[in-house]
């Protein structure tokens, strides 16, 4: 399979400060939306389902605008 069909990427910007994203250690959960593992107790549970924040409409990132710089990932820069 060609790489361009297997992988996709896009620049994103954090929608909230990094220190709010650092979670607590806990038992991983599985998102019922896409089946990905959710770590650090970031799952959103309710209505009989468990979702990651992105599937629950609470993503910690948003697509970056063309003029924006890439997200800073160092906590000292938050």
The residue ranges that bind Zn ion (CB under 5 A) are 31, 33-34, 52, 55
Handedness of CA 17, 19, 20, 25 (dihedral sign): positive
For residue 18, how many other CB atoms are within 10 A of its CB? 16
Greatest pairwise CA separation for the chain in angstroms: 41
Shortest reach from residue 33's CB to Zn ion, in Å: 4
Shortest reach from residue 53's CB to Zn ion, in Å: 8
Of 53 and 78, CB closest to Zn ion: 53
Shortest reach from residue 76's CB to Zn ion, in Å: 30
């Amino acid at each position: 399979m060609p790489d361009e069909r297997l992988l996709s990427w896009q620049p994103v910007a954090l929608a909230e400060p990094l220190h709010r994203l650092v979670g607590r250690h806990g038992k991983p959960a599985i998102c019922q939306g896409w089946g990905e593992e959710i770590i650090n107790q970031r799952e959103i549970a309710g209505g009989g389902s468990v979702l990651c924040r992105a599937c629950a409409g609470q993503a910690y990132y948003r697509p970056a605008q063309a003029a924006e710089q890439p997200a800073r990932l160092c906590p000292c820069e938050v």
